[in-house]
Amino acid sequence: MSTSEENKKSKDLASNTKDGKGKTMTTNQGVKVNDTNNSLKSGERGASLLEDFILREKITHFDHERIPERIVHARGSGAHGVFELYESLEEYTKAGIFTDIKRKTPVFVRFSTVAGNKGSADLARDVRGFATKFYTEEGIFDLVGNNMPVFFIQDAMKFPDLIHAVKPEPDRDIPQAASAHDTFYDFVSHTTETLHNHIWVMSDRAIPRSFRMMEGFGIHTFRLINAEGKSHFVKFHWKPLLGTHSITWDEAVKIHGADSDFHRRDLWEAIDSGQFPEWELGLQIIPEEDEHKFDFDILDPTKLIPEEMVPVQRIGKMTLNRNPDNFFAETEQVAFHPGHVVPGIDFTNDPLLQGRLFSYTDTQLSRLGSPNFHEIPINRPINETHNNQRDAQMRMTVDKGKSAYFPNSIGGGCPHLAKMAQGGFTSYEERIDAKKIRSRSSSFSDHYSQPALFYRSLTDWEQEHVADAYTFELGKCTYDHIKERMLYVIKQIDKDLALKVADGLGMKIPSKIDQPVNQAIGADANVEEHQPTPKKKYLKKSAALSLTHLNSDSIATRKIAFLVGDGFNGAQVKKIKEALVSKNAVVHLVAPHGGTVKCDLGKEHPVDVALLTTESVLYDALYIPGGAKSIEALVKAPKSVKFVNETLKHCKALAAEEDTFKLLDKTAISMFDKDAAILIGKTPKDFIKQIAAHRNWDRQPTAMNIPV
């Protein structure tokens, strides 16, 4: 049985899917069309006639093809898949997706960047959205998360300020898809609650190698409710089975030019080739009684619960196994909402989550144009829906009967309430006894302890990348007072980090700054007064915060360039290629010219891509086979030296044969201890091991000095 046949949502979408193959062209009114190239005119050289309904329909539809792009997360890529549960969580929840291990729940996932426009480059330094729509048998459950476990702000009231600050500056509309500018740092330096999410953005998490190699987080603390009505707090995690991997900033900048669709293409090609990306869903479950046992507030979305304090239980697996048929119909029109929950899942009072519950329906009204957006095929549930909501623009459903109200007798009292049978949604009966108040809880005031924990938990090379990122971003700001404020607040996270950044900027860290540090939480609030001094250190380090925590020895879908010229050693290429392809890696023959390339056995091989039209940054590793003539040809193609140097600079796996030194001697290889930098004449096994490790960061200190 094919993937789409067994997936209930794919079957449902099939009823709205059209294919014009073998069909006659018609107008939208079903009239057959004989000519779609010429408008109706009064004589061959005469004026066009208004009566031409074929022309009018074609142009009118075209004129209205665009809809407003998402106000945030405009740039995205989606895929269909399935979620399967490992074991029932009945003890905690009555939600069918978390109790019925026989189900294959269809999902649609959309990954995105946040700040850039719909056509912006994939490798911007940014948070990535990770939104999952579960089409459950009890209705839609949307988990609308990011690839970082915390958010910038604590209250939804601040969201428009955050987004206005990070988006292009309104007078000149630059920079596109970049946080490195004055308005963003003006905001961040005045709003210290942002610092935790911000330091994640300064880390390599913000430049993932692939959507398929990043974690996902629901961020907020939600509730699970069991059949007895008992609540547990829960945090959701997605753990990628390919491990977590990132690229360097230098590569990101170059990928912008070489292939600005890098992540979109990567996701599409992996699924298209049958290499389905997989994530395990992990839960951190916290009993109600433990709500106040932490050194931070679990309702504060700028805080994570370290995995060492509450372990992540892996409860099921999601596999993305089908590309969309139509980008607009599916990926663009899909409408997520954190308020789409099913019985067994409920909200907490996290003030960011509460505000989101309003924003997402509201935004679909302007984006998709009607409260009937739930009828768009990608958005409709797989179970039946019945209620008395009627009409509005673009209504698709033909509701029968006279009564569109409740209670009624004319319609036999239908649709009747769920509680007359079973399974309806009942909100968790949380006890509330409080004064109405517009303020921020002081339990949210510690803005430095967790960014400090994050920084302490990183490896040396990760810390170095963080310092470089701050230096780059602040280096792009033009106001000195903004940079000084930033240096001051970075120092509150980590003094050495601030010193490195100050050094890079050629500035001094000020000992104090004029205005209160946080103007965001209240008119007269100086958050410094609430800061725990010294910072809280409930954990020395949290291993799970480093990218190195999630490893995989798989090299599936890794792209490996074989640099070859005419006369390359055919036997060597065959051996290494077979070894890599057997592990599902992707091998490309990259040659100084297109067409075919001849090996020393006289056989012609198709060139996958000519050197001129590709870049090393699009590959995960490089192999150079022997063959005197081939090396001669590569030496004559100067870009091959750049290719090798960049592979070295970005600390990627590099293997070559003994007789390649005529080329290698022209590269930066002499800067390294050769055995550490390159595998010469080694077995495919060694190469595979290095590719799986993703990068050899020990090379970094020398690699930084390679002038490419």
Q: Please state the closest distance from residue 184 (CB atom) to ligand HDD, in A.
A: 17
- Do residues 106 and 13 touch, judged by C-beta distance below 8 A? no
End-to-end CA distance of the chain: 50
Residue tagged active-site, from 146, 321, 518, 569? 146
- Told to check if 151 binds ligand HDD by CB under 6 A, we report yes
Distance CA 136, CA 423 (A): 13
226 is catalytic: no
Degrees (nearest 5) of the Cα angle 146, 148, 152? 90
Q: Is 506 left (phi over 0), alpha (psi -120 to 50) or beta?
A: left
- Residue with structure tokens 């945030």? 72
Compare residues 352 and 669 and give the one whose CB is closer to ligand HDD. Answer: 352
Distance of alpha carbon 101 from alpha carbon 82, whole angstroms: 13
Please give the helix or strand (H or E) that residue 624 lies within, else none: strand 621-624
**Annotation-wise, does 159 bind a ligand?**
yes
Nearer to ligand HDD, 213 or 564 (CB): 213
Amino acid letter, residue 699: R
Q: Of 15-23, 71-79, 281-289, 529-537, which segment contacts ligand HDD by CB under 6 A? A: 71-79
Q: Which of 75, 80, 110, 485 binds ligand HDD (CB under 6 A)?
A: 110
Task: Examine residue 146 and tell whether it contacts ligand HDD (CB under 6 A).
Answer: yes
Q: What string marks each residue from 27 to 56 as x (binds ligand HDD by CB under 6 A) or -?
A: ------------------------------
Is residue 356 part of the contact set for ligand HDD (CB under 6 A)? yes
Looking only at the bridges linking them, the beta strands covering 313-322 and 278-287 are antiparallel
Residue with Cβ nearer ligand HDD (115 or 607): 115
Task: Please state the φ and ψ torsions of residue 577, each to the nearest 5 degrees.
Answer: -60, -45
Encode burial over 313-344: b for 16+ CB neighbours within 10 A, e otherwise. Answer: eebbbbbbbbbbbeeebbbbbbbbbbbbbbbb
Q: Looking at 96, 116, 145, 592, which residue binds ligand HDD (CB under 6 A)?
A: 145
Q: Which residues contact 296 (CB under 8 A, 6 or more apart)?
A: 303, 443, 446, 449, 450, 536
236 touches ligand HDD by CB under 6 A: no
Structure tokens at 15: 């009823």
Q: Which of residues 621-660 bind ligand HDD (CB under 6 A)?
A: none
Binding region for ligand HDD (CB under 6 A) out of 89-97, 189-197, 353-361, 548-556 = 353-361
Any contact of residue 191 with ligand HDD (CB under 6 A)?
no
Q: Judged by CB under 6 A, which of 73, 75, 103, 232 binds ligand HDD?
A: 73
301 binds ligand HDD (CB under 6 A): yes
- Ranked by CB distance to ligand HDD, the top (closest) residue is 129
Residue among 168 and 415 whose Cβ is closer to ligand HDD: 168
- Per the CB < 8 A criterion, the answer to whether 380 and 397 are in contact is no
Q: Which is nearer to ligand HDD, 131 or 345 (CB)?
A: 131
Site string for ligand HDD, 553-592 (x = CB under 6 A): ----------------------------------------
Token pair belonging to 431: 């006890």
Segments of 349-446 assigned E as strands: none
What is the token pair recorded at 413? Answer: 């009292």
360 is in an annotated binding site: yes
Contact of 348 with 221, CB cutoff 8 Å? yes
Q: Which of 93, 99, 105, 112 binds ligand HDD (CB under 6 A)?
A: 112
Q: Which of 73, 340, 447, 694 is catalytic?
A: 73
CB of 334 to ligand HDD, least distance (A): 6
Nearer to ligand HDD, 158 or 254 (CB): 158
Nearer to ligand HDD (CB atom), residue 251 or residue 330: 330
Which helix (H) or strand (E) segment holds residue 251: the answer is helix 249-258
Q: In angstroms, rounded to a whole number, what is the distance separating the alpha carbons of residues 405 and 390?
A: 10
Residue 251 and residue 285 in contact, taking contact as beta carbons nearer than 8 Å: no
Please, which residues have CB within 8 angstroms of residue 455's CB and are 6 or more apart in sequence? Answer: 199, 463, 466, 493, 494, 497
Tell me the one-letter amino acid at 124: A
What is the spatial distance between Cα 551 and Cα 559, in angstroms, rounded to a whole number?
A: 18
Check if the beta carbon of residue 129 is closer than 8 Å to that of residue 73.
yes
Indicate which single residue of 159, 185, 347, 454 sits in contact with ligand HDD (rule: CB under 6 A): 159
| Nearest CA-CA partner of 130 in 112, 117, 114 | 112
Active site residue 518: no
The first and second tokens of residue 175, run together, are 């920079």
- Rounded least distance, CB 151 to ligand HDD, Å: 4
Contact stretch for ligand HDD (CB under 6 A) within 359-367, 435-443, 589-597, 688-696: 359-367
Q: Is 485 annotated as a binding residue?
A: no
Q: Which of 9, 70, 649, 650 binds ligand HDD (CB under 6 A)?
A: 70
Q: In angstroms, give the least distance from the CB of 631 to ligand HDD.
A: 48
Q: State the Cα–Cα distance between residues 179 and 197, nearest whole angstrom.
A: 13
Asked if 396 contacts 371 with a C-beta cutoff of 8 angstroms, the reply is no
Q: Nearer to ligand HDD by C-beta: 82 or 156?
A: 156
Q: Residue 253 CB, nearest distance to ligand HDD (Å)? A: 25
465 binds ligand HDD per the rule CB under 6 A: no
CB of 188 to ligand HDD, least distance (A): 16
Ligand-binding site membership of 380 (annotated) = no
Q: Are 515 and 504 in contact (CB under 8 A)?
A: no
Q: Which of 220, 303 has the CB closer to ligand HDD?
A: 220
Radius of gyration of the chain (CA): 28
Q: Is 131 in the site for ligand HDD (CB under 6 A)?
A: yes
Residue 196 found at the interface with ligand HDD (CB under 6 A): no
In the range 363-402, which residues lie near ligand HDD by CB under 6 A?
Answer: 363
| Crossing angle between the packed helical segments 449-457 and 195-202, to the nearest 10 degrees | 20
Q: DSSP for 124-143, please give it.
A: -SS-EEEEEEEEETTEEEEE
For residue 200, state whether it binds ligand HDD (rule: CB under 6 A). Answer: no
Q: Is 395 annotated as a binding residue?
A: no
324 versus 626: smaller Cβ distance to ligand HDD: 324
Residue 367 labelled as part of a binding site: yes
CB of 165 vs ligand HDD, minimal distance in Å: 14
Least Å distance, CB 463 to ligand HDD, is 26
679-680 and 105-113 strand pairing: unpaired
Q: Does 183 bind ligand HDD (CB under 6 A)?
A: no
| Least separation in angstroms between CB 353 and ligand HDD | 7
Peptide bond just before 638 cis, omega within 30 deg: no
3-state secondary structure of 279: strand
Which is it for strands 653-656 and 679-680: parallel, antiparallel or unpaired?
parallel
Q: Is the CB of 216 or the CB of 570 nearer to ligand HDD?
A: 216
- Tell me if 72 contacts ligand HDD by CB under 6 A: yes
- Sign of the dihedral through C-alpha 501, 504, 510, 513: negative
Q: Site for ligand HDD (CB under 6 A): how many residues?
A: 27
* Contact residue for ligand HDD among 336, 448, 643, 687 (CB under 6 A): 336
| Positions in the binding site for ligand HDD (CB under 6 A) | 70-73, 76, 110, 112, 129, 131, 144-146, 151, 156, 159, 219-220, 301, 334-336, 352, 355-356, 359-360, 363
Binding region: 70, 110, 159, 356, 360, 367
Binding region for heme: 70, 110, 159, 356, 360, 367
Q: Which residues are catalytic?
A: 73, 146
